[in-house]
Amino acid sequence: MKLGKHNVWLLMVILSVALGLGGCGGKAADTTKVYQVGLLSGVEVFDSTFAGFKAEMVKLGYTEDVDAGATQPSGQGMAISYDLQSAGGDSEKGRQIAEQFVADKVDVILSTTNHAALSARAAGAGTDVPAVFTFVIAPVQAGVVDDLRQPGGNITGVRNPLDVFVGKRIEFALQMVPNMKRLWVPYNPNYSTVTAVLTQLRRDGAALGVELVETPVDTPADVIAALDEYTQAEIDFDAIIIFPDMTVQIPDSWNAILSFAGEHNLPILANTPGQVEQGALFSYLSDNVATGEQAARLVHQILQGTVPADLPVETAEQFLTINLQTAQALGLDVPDAVLRQADTVIRESVIKLVENPWEAAQLNTTIARILLEEELGLPVEVVLFDSVAQWESIANGEAHVSLEVWPSGHIERAHEYIGDSLTEQKRIEHGGPLGPMGRIGWYIPAYLHRAHPELATWEGLQDPANVALFTTVETGNKRRFLSGDPAWVTIHEDIIKNLDLDFEVVYAGSETAEIAILEEAFDKQEAILYYFWTPHWAFVPYDMVRVTLPPYSEECYAKADTGGTDCDYPEEPLYKIFWSGFSDYAPRAYQFLKNFNYSNLDQIMMMAMMKLENKSIEEAARLWIAENESVWREWIP
C-alpha cells in the first residue's frame, strides 16, 4: 500500500497498534415520551417499505431514539424507536410477532402483506394497540378491514390495488408486444393474494383478447417441472406474467422462469422493479419506499390521536418500470408514448451494492462504487441492509453484492444460502475473501487493567467483589456489558450465561453510539466491559486490553444453535457474497468485485483518516484510491 506524506505520521501510530490487535490480554402527541413502533415484515421483499417509512417519519418531526434505534435524539421533535421482526412468509410466526407487539404495548404496528395485516388486526382486537398495513391486496375481501372508507376495528392502511389494476399490465404489454395472444400464468391457488387478482385478470384478458394459459402450482418444484415440460414440447404462449405470489417469486422459481424466458426469447410482465432490473420487460405496481412514506403519514395521524377507524384506507400509487435493454434484446420497439408514462427506464444494468451499518463496510462499498462508476463506467446503487436481512435480499436478486461478511455470525446462513464449500452454490455465490482478518472480542480499558489485572480474564469477571465496578442504573444489581447494534449477530448473552457471569447486555444502538459511550468512559476513567472488533480505528486513540475467554474451538461453536457457546470468538477471514445470477447480469462488475481485495492496514488507515483527520467516508476512500492505484488497478478486468 502506498502512503501519502501527510499520512506517514499516522502510519507510525497505527503500526504500533495493528501489530497487537488480536492479542491484548392512539394518544395525543407527547414530546417527552419515546413512541414504540412494531414493524412486522410479512416477507423480506417488501422490507424497503420500512426505510421509506422511517425517512418520512423524520420529515414529520420524529427522531430515532438511541436506546432502541440508531441515532441520538436531537432534542427537538418527538423520539421514536422501531422493533423490526420478520415472519419470513410464515403466518404462524407472524401471529406470534403481532401478539408479542401487543403484549409489549407498542404505540402502533406497521405491517407488510395480507397475512401480517390479519395477524396485526387479530392481535390488537380488544386492545388499544392500533395497526397500519401496507401491501395488502383486496383488504375487504381478505377480511383485513370492513370497508375501505370506514375500516372498522383498530386498523387502517395503504392497499396494493393490483386486483383492480392488473389489467393495465396486459394493456402495457400489448403496446410493447403487439403480437401477444397467449399469456402464461403460473400461480399457487392457495396463496392469499391470488384469487382476487386472478379473477380480475381473467376478465381483463378476455376483454383485451389475450388468452390465459394457467398453471396451478404448489411449490417451486412444480414451477420448474412445468418449465421442463415446456422445454421438451412446443411452447404455446407468447409472454409470462408474475403474480403477487411468493411461490413463483422465491429465487428457485424466479431464477428458473428468468432463465427459461431468456432461452426462449419471451417477455416477462414482472411483479417487482427488482425483477425488471434482472431482465423482465416491465413492471407496474406500487413502490415499496413510496408506500412506506404514505404509511408514515397515517401512523403520524394515529400518534397524534386520530382513531384508525376514522382514517379511510388509502390506495398506493402505481409506478411503471421498463427495461429498455431487455426490450432491445427481444427485438421490441417500445413506443415513445409508453416511455413517457414510465417512472423508471433502465437503459443499462445497475449494480446494487449492499452497505452494512458499520464504518469499515461503508468504506468497502464507497471504494467499490467509485471505481465501478468512474473506472468501469457502470451505474451503481447503494442499498442499505443489516447483516442478516442482506442474505435473503441478495438471494432474491434485489441486491447483488455484500463485501464484508463475518463468518462466525453467519454459519447457518452460509450453509443455507451458499453450501458447504466454495465450489458449491445454492442461492448465493461465495465471492471470495475480502482480505482483512476480523476478530470480535471482549475488551476493557488499559487503565482499568492496570488497576485490576484480574479483569482481563473471564475468571476475574466472576469475582463478586468486582460487581460494583460495572453496575449502572439501568442494570441494577447486575454488571453492564456494552454492545453495539442489536441487529449485529453476536453470542454475548450465551457466553455470559454459560460462564455463569453476572452481566446484562446493554445495546448502545449503533457503532456510533457505542463509540460515544466508550469515549465518555475513557474520558472519565470509568470501569467498562464491552464488545469490540478488529480491524477498527478506535484502537489508535484508545488503549484497550482484550479479555481472555476460554479458547475458541470448532466443537464449542458447533453448540451456537442451541445457545451452548462458552468460548472466545475466532479470528476469521472476512468474505464477500454475490447474487447467484450476478456473473451473467454484469460480467465486468462481477470480475472486478471478485478481484476486490485489500488488507487490515488499508481499512485501518482509512478509518483513522476519518477520525484523526476529520475526513468523510467519501474523502477517505478517494484518498486511498489516489494513493493506491497499483492495488486497485489489478482488480479491473
pLDDT tens, residue by residue, 560-579: 778 888 888 888 899 999 99
SS3 state of residue 549:
coil
Q: Is residue 457 packed enough to be buried (19+ CB in 10 Å), middle (13-18) or exposed (0-12)? A: middle
Model confidence over 308-344: pLDDT tens digits?
A: 988 999 999 999 999 998 998 899 999 999 999 999 9
454 and 337 co-located in one domain: no
Categorize the per-residue pLDDT at 140 as very low, low, confident or very high, splitting at 50, 70 and 90. Answer: very high
**Does some domain include residue 301?**
no
Cα 275 from Cα 6, distance rounded (Å) = 47
The pLDDT, as a whole number, for residue 600 is 84
342 and 470 co-located in one domain: no
Categorize the per-residue pLDDT at 406 as very low, low, confident or very high, splitting at 50, 70 and 90. Answer: confident
In sequence order, the 6+-apart residues with CB closer than 8 A to the CB of 464 are: 502
Domain residues for 220?
Answer: 165-287+319-346
**Does some domain include residue 430?**
no
**Does some domain include residue 529?**
yes
Neighbour count for residue 305 (Cβ, 10 Å)? 10
546 closest CA partner among 455, 467, 607, 479: 455
**Does some domain include residue 407?**
no
The pLDDT, as a whole number, for residue 475 is 67
566 and 446 co-located in one domain: yes
328 and 449 co-located in one domain: no
- 114 with 102: CB under 8 angstroms? no
What are the phi and psi torsion angles at 216 (to 5°)? Answer: -70, 140
The pLDDT, as a whole number, for residue 538 is 86
What are the phi and psi torsion angles at 441 (to 5°)? Answer: -165, 175
Is the Cα dihedral 77, 83, 86, 87 positive or negative?
negative
pLDDT greater than 90 at residue 348: no
Q: What is the DSSP letter of 405?
A: E
- Residue 18 β-bridge partners: none
Last residue of a domain, one of 550, 571, 592: 571
The pLDDT, as a whole number, for residue 556 is 87
**Does some domain include residue 335?**
yes
Rounded to an integer, the average pLDDT of 347-352 is 84
pLDDT greater than 80 at residue 11: no
Model confidence over 189-243: pLDDT tens digits?
A: 998 889 999 999 999 999 999 999 999 999 999 999 999 999 888 888 999 999 9
In sequence order, the 6+-apart residues with CB closer than 8 A to the CB of 114 are: 42, 135, 136, 137, 139, 142, 144, 192, 193
Categorize the per-residue pLDDT at 158 as very low, low, confident or very high, splitting at 50, 70 and 90. Answer: very high
332 and 465 co-located in one domain: no
42 closest CA partner among 137, 119, 141: 119
The CATH number of residue 182's host domain is: 3.40.50.2300
Q: Which residue, chain included where needed, has cell 406470534?
A: 96
In sequence order, the 6+-apart residues with CB closer than 8 A to the CB of 478 are: 471, 502, 503, 504
What are the phi and psi torsion angles at 174 (to 5°)? Answer: -65, -30
Q: How many distinct helices (H) and strands (E) make up the chain?
A: 27, 23
The pLDDT, as a whole number, for residue 342 is 94
Categorize the per-residue pLDDT at 458 as very low, low, confident or very high, splitting at 50, 70 and 90. Answer: very high
Helix (H) or strand (E) holding 344: strand 344-346
The CATH number of residue 564's host domain is: 3.40.190.100
469 and 336 co-located in one domain: no
Cell of 375: 473506472
SS3 state of residue 184:
strand
The domain tally of the chain equals: 2
Last residue of a domain, one of 556, 571, 586: 571
Helix, strand, coil percent content, the chain, rounded in steps of 5: 45, 20, 35
342 and 206 co-located in one domain: yes
**CA-only gyration radius of the chain, Å:** 26
- 254 with 396: CB under 8 angstroms? yes
Cα 606 from Cα 623, distance rounded (Å) = 8
Rounded to an integer, the average pLDDT of 425-439 is 86
Omega prior to 535 cis, within 30 of 0:
yes
Cell of 493: 448473552
**Does some domain include residue 468?**
yes
**Does some domain include residue 310?**
no
558 and 447 co-located in one domain: yes
Is the Cα dihedral 581, 584, 588, 594 positive or negative?
positive
**Does some domain include residue 629?**
no
What are the phi and psi torsion angles at 483 (to 5°)? Answer: -125, 180
Model confidence over 229-272: pLDDT tens digits?
A: 998 888 889 999 999 888 998 888 998 999 999 999 999 999 98
Residue type for 95, please? Answer: R
Helix (H) or strand (E) holding 185: strand 182-187
328 and 464 co-located in one domain: no
332 and 477 co-located in one domain: no
464 and 324 co-located in one domain: no
- Comparing 127-131, 155-159, 437-441, 561-565, the range with the smallest average pLDDT is 561-565
Neighbour count for residue 379 (Cβ, 10 Å)? 15
